[in-house]
C-alpha cells in the first residue's frame, strides 16, 4: 500500500518539485496506528476504569462488522471446532485450521486487537508453544491465548521474551473438558478460587499480557481483576472484569446446541439486525449493563 502510494506520487510530480517520501510514509503509518487497538490501549482502559468489548471472529465479514461496531478485541477462538466445524468440543481443532481463520479475520479487521487460540496439545512444551505461536503470528495474530494455570509460566515467559504477547485462559478451560468432567462453573470452593488468583499472579509475573477468566462466580471475577495490573477479560465471570467476551454465534443466537447461562442473544428483537446487535453488545459492555445478574454465577 505504501509502495503504491510512493510510485503514484513520483509519476504525478513535475521534475522541479521534490517530495520527501519518508514524510509520506510516516503519515501513512501514523494514520493506521491511530485506529489500531494494542495491548497498551487495553492497559490504559483498565487504568481509566473503561470497559472493553471482545468477541470471537472466524471470517472476513464477521470480523469487519465486529471491528466496525467498536469491538476492541477479536479472538479467533478454538470454539471454531464447535460453531464452524460442528464438533462437540474444541479438541479436534488444529494449528492449520486456526491459521486459516486468522488469515480470514485479518482481512476483515479494521483495527481491533487480533488474538488467536493455540489449539489443544499445540503448546505441551515451551518450545512447541513458540513454534506454533510463530505460525499464528506470521498469519496476522497479535497475541496468542493458551489455556491453563501456573504450569504455563515457562511458555508464557519464553513467548513474551520473544515478543509474542500472551493471554492466559483460566477458570473453565474448555480444552480440559474431559478432565473437568463437563463445562462446569469453576472456583466456587474458596480454596480453588484463591488458587486461581495465585496462579494468575504467577502468569502475570511470567509476562502474560492479559488473563481471560471463564465461568466463575462474579465475586471471583472481581477479586481477580482487582488483584492484577494486566487487563482481565471475563466470560461468565460477572460484571467486575475489565472486558467481556462472547462467542459470535451466541451473541446472534445461532448455536443450535445448549447455551450457557452467561450467554445473551443480542439479535433477538433487534430492529437493526446483526450490526445493531453488535453495537448494542458493545454499548452494554461499556455501560456495565451486560452481564446482568441473570447472566452471572454466584
- Contact residues toward ligand KIV (CB under 6 A) are 56, 75, 77-79, 117, 169, 212, 214, 235, 245, 247
Q: How far is the CB of 16 from ligand KIV (least distance, A)?
A: 58
Using alpha carbons, select from 249, 107, 225, 103 the residue that is nearest to residue 171.
225
Known catalytic residues are 214
Q: What angle do CA 70, 73, 78 make, to 5 degrees?
A: 130
Taking the least distance from each CB to ligand KIV, the nearer of 127 and 297 is 297
C-alpha torsion 111→204→134→180, nearest 10: -100
Q: How far is the CB of 82 from ligand KIV (least distance, A)?
A: 9
Using alpha carbons, select from 110, 141, 101, 99 the residue that is nearest to residue 37.
110
User: What is the distance of C-alpha 47 from the center of its chain?
Assistant: 19
Alpha-carbon gap, residue 146 to 166, rounded angstroms: 7
Q: What angle do CA 238, 244, 250 make, to 5 degrees?
A: 95
Using alpha carbons, select from 185, 134, 124, 181 the residue that is nearest to residue 155.
124
Q: How far is the CB of 20 from ligand KIV (least distance, A)?
A: 46
User: Residues 166, 116: contact at Cβ < 8 Å?
Assistant: no
Taking the least distance from each CB to ligand KIV, the nearer of 75 and 284 is 75
Taking the least distance from each CB to ligand KIV, the nearer of 223 and 262 is 262
Q: How far is the CB of 5 from ligand KIV (least distance, A)?
A: 37
Q: How far is the CB of 172 from ligand KIV (least distance, A)?
A: 8
How many C-beta atoms lie closer than 10 Å to residue 215's C-beta?
22
Taking the least distance from each CB to ligand KIV, the nearer of 59 and 78 is 78
Residue facing ligand KIV at closest CB distance: 77
**In sequence order, what are the residues at sequence separation of 6 or more whose Cβ sits closer than 8 angstroms to the Cβ of residue 191?**
none
Amino acid at each position: 500500500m505504501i509502495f503504491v502510494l510512493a510510485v503514484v506520487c513520483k509519476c504525478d510530480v513535475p521534475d522541479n518539485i521534490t517530495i520527501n517520501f519518508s514524510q509520506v510514509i510516516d503519515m501513512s503509518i501514523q494514520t493506521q496506528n491511530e485506529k489500531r487497538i494494542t495491548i497498551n490501549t487495553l492497559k490504559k482502559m483498565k487504568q481509566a476504569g473503561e470497559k472493553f468489548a471482545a468477541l470471537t471472529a472466524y471470517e472476513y465479514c464477521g470480523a469487519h462488522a465486529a471491528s466496525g461496531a467498536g469491538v476492541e478485541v477479536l479472538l479467533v477462538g478454538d470454539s471454531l471446532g464447535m460453531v464452524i466445524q460442528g464438533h462437540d468440543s474444541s479438541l479436534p481443532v488444529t494449528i492449520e485450521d486456526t491459521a486459516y481463520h486468522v488469515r480470514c479475520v485479518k482481512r476483515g479487521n479494521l483495527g481491533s486487537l487480533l488474538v488467536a487460540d493455540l489449539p489443544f496439545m499445540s503448546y505441551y512444551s515451551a518450545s512447541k508453544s513458540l513454534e506454533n505461536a510463530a505460525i499464528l503470528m506470521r498469519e496476522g495474530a497479535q497475541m496468542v491465548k493458551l489455556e491453563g494455570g501456573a504450569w504455563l509460566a515457562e511458555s508464557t515467559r519464553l513467548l513474551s521474551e520473544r515478543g509474542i504477547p500472551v493471554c492466559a485462559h483460566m477458570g473453565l478451560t474448555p480444552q480440559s473438558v474431559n478432565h473437568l468432567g463437563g463445562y462446569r462453573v469453576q472456583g466456587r470452593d474458596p480454596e480453588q478460587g484463591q488458587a486461581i488468583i495465585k496462579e494468575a499472579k504467577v502468569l502475570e509475573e511470567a509476562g502474560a499480557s492479559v488473563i481471560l477468566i471463564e465461568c466463575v462466580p462474579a465475586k471471583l471475577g472481581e477479586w481477580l481483576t482487582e488483584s492484577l495490573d494486566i487487563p482481565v477479560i471475563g466470560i461468565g465471570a460477572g460484571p467486575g472484569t475489565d472486558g467481556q467476551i462472547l462467542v459470535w454465534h451466541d451473541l446472534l443466537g445461532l448455536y443450535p446446541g445448549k447455551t450457557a447461562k452467561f450467554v445473551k442473544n443480542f439479535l433477538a428483537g433487534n430492529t437493526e439486525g446483526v450490526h445493531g446487535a453488535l453495537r448494542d453488545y458493545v454499548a452494554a459492555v461499556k455501560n456495565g449493563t451486560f452481564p446482568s445478574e441473570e447472566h452471572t454465577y454466584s
